[in-house]
Chains A and B, each alone.
Chain A
Amino acid sequence: MRNYTRLLDILDRVENGPIIDETEFDRKLLPAKLKELQRELDIRYDRQSSILLDDALADRLFEAGLRLATDVGVLCTSTGRRITFTRQEILDALEFAPQELIIGRGLDRCTVRKRQVEDRVPPGVVGGPIGQTLPEELFLPIMQSYAQEPIVDTIINGTLLTVYNREPKTHSPWEVLVAWHEAELSKTAVNRAGRPGLAIGCVETSPSEIGEISASSYGGFSPYDWHQVAMVSELKTNYALLAKIAHLVRTGCIIHTFYNPIFGGYAGGAEGVAITAVAGIMLMQMVYMTTTHSICPTHPFFESDTAPEIVWAISAAQQAINRNTHLLTDVLVSPVGGPCTKVLLYETAVITAAITVSGTSRVFAVRSTAGKYQGYSSGLEARFSGEVGQSVAGMSRREADEIVKRLIPKYVDYLDKEPKGKRFDEAYDMHTLRPTPEWQSIYEEVKEELRKIGIPFKK
């Protein structure tokens, strides 16, 4: 595995790093350091642009993230110690990190590549409602609806609501069973879609370590799938998450890590979220020995990532990382809208456009209703996101910014309205697994609108 850091060294630091009280870390160390860096490096959110347009600011943001990562590190809440690294260790690790990943098997494998800011090559498409709970009876058709979309390169699972109609509990035998059920159902979904080698993002129904470790053993998910580990907001980990890492390292699995700074929380506003996101990506590389990294800064009231401040923070953090490293970076699209709403498509277009021109390797499409409503997601939104990415790739940030600025007003008043739309079984024909005429015509109507404001869809 091509990583600079090594598991034993990380675990030694977990056991021997500087001791700190969690409250001190949350309320003093992190906010104070963020304020200092914002001031010193002049990191300012400019409301005039929705996407960061300033290369010098992107580079200062990279420096701010690097200093935050060095000065704060990651808090392991199980040991009450910070896992810290020197600036040079982080720079060496970034230099050494993989810039390409082959994922999946046989004819269904694909290559994840590093992208540049304003790259002409479109981002890859990860299809799936990661973070949304799916009713057991809808899990298979929903996941199949993503897997069957030709534009989707890999899928990522939603979370199962029940297992054999029982509610699973964290860190219980139920978690083991539900994790295995996720493996069975998602493998069936890719097989039914005729793409048996498609890599599956897993184990989503594994809040503690036991679901991941159990369902990634013989007969379950394989090393060819890609395995998700979270960094807890803000900049925290624990034994359960590190146990997943230990298992994945020893079994040679592909590790994907994600971090979702909370807007308005300890990270503060747009600037703080952007700095924390940059530091988080670096620290996931260090602590989790990860190959791909995703972020989804989250609104504290809407739980989405499509509020204007967050769109800017995402674009800024992505540019900071993608201009200065060759890391494989992903972003999750998390709109408040659900299937059969125009809002969902406008929000999806905004995030997809912003990250495509900011150099993101892959778009995670889409956590509809910001994951709030069970089964309110469908493969069509992944297709739409992929098409936006293909059409926007090669645009300048300024061109994309003009489009985004025209789209945000179309949804911003709905952010607190929970426009959940329709559940999958009302948005799709359950026999053919195709969008209903209603959902299809909304999709086509919005594409037509977007064409008129400058998104050159190929079809």
Chain B
Amino acid sequence: MVISANAILASLAQAIMDGDEQRGRDLAQQALGAGLSPSNIFEECITPTLQQIGDKFKRLEIFLPEMMLSADVVKGITRVLEPVIFKEKGSVPSQGKVVIGTAQGDVHDIGKNMVATMLEVSGFKVYNLGVDVSTAAFLSKAREVRADIIAISSLLTTSTPFMKDVISFLEGARERNEYRVVVGGGPVTREWAQRIGADGYGKDAAEAVSVCRELVGSKKRG
């Protein structure tokens, strides 16, 4: 039986929604076999499905574990598509690269993981450094992967000075223009973000994604 390309994409979308990584990889292979290009698969299936997942999370119709599973399926699918994409374009397209972590001295990670996952499902390449991340570790990873954005979260007032340190260190190293710095978390406000010279502030995961999109766009233009 020959399954139509549309049916494959519909099943692929469902696999992403269900968080079924194996099925996602198999269907991605089938989609390629049916003659669909990776850009077709992304434009017609993956991007709109991830958009739906992000919207569902914003409305809290799904929760973090489900969203993370969907992000894992997309990572699996991308690994299947990557060789073809490389052959065609030489690199895998992404919205931008984000190095993200919780500021030094703070071990809270759920809010930061929500932002990281929302960024992933929105097409960013995300390097999640975890919690209690030192200023040096942020800088070193950003340099290593040539990040567009350094995103720092904190739930503790006493860890927010480390956000300022990241910016000061970038200035000291004359690298401030290389990266956009986005901050967020419980005690962080828009005013504080402006005061320390951050480029962006996200009051929640959804706003963080739109701020990162805007900043990557302005970086590319600027």
Contact = CB atoms under 8 A, between A and B. Distances in A.
A262 interface: yes
A188 interface: no
Contacts of A272: 63
Contact of B111 (A27, A178, A262, A268): A262
A226 interface: no
Interface stretch (A65-73, A232-240, A322-330, A432-440): A232-240
A170 B110 contact: no
Given A77-B107, A265-B110, A168 B158 contact: yes
A170 B108 contact: no
Contacts of B57: 264
Given A207-B105, A268-B65, A300 B158 contact: no
Contact of A170 (B159, B187, B203): B159
B187 A264 contact: no
Contact of B156 (A207, A264, A268): A207
B36 interface: no
B158 A372 contact: no
A272 to B, nearest CB: 8
Interface size of A as a range: 35 or more
Query: Could you tell me the dominant secondary structure of chain A's interface residues?
Result: loop
Contacts of A170: 104-106, 156, 158-159, 162
A300 B111 contact: yes
Contacts, number: 86
B158 A265 contact: no
B156 A371 contact: no
Nearest to B65: A31
Contacts of B110: 233-234, 262, 265-266, 300
A374 B104 CA distance: 21
A410 interface: no
A191 interface: no
B170 interface: no
Contacts of A26: 113
B51 interface: no
Name the residue in B57, B158, B159, B205 with the highest tally of chain A Cβ atoms < 10 Å from its Cβ.
Answer: B158
Interface in A285-342: 300-301, 303
A208 interface: yes
B204 interface: yes
B126 to A, nearest CB: 14
A268 B60 CA distance: 9
Return the 8 tightest CB-CB contacts between A and B, nearest first.
Answer: A170-B105, A31-B65, A265-B110, A301-B204, A170-B158, A167-B161, A133-B157, A207-B156
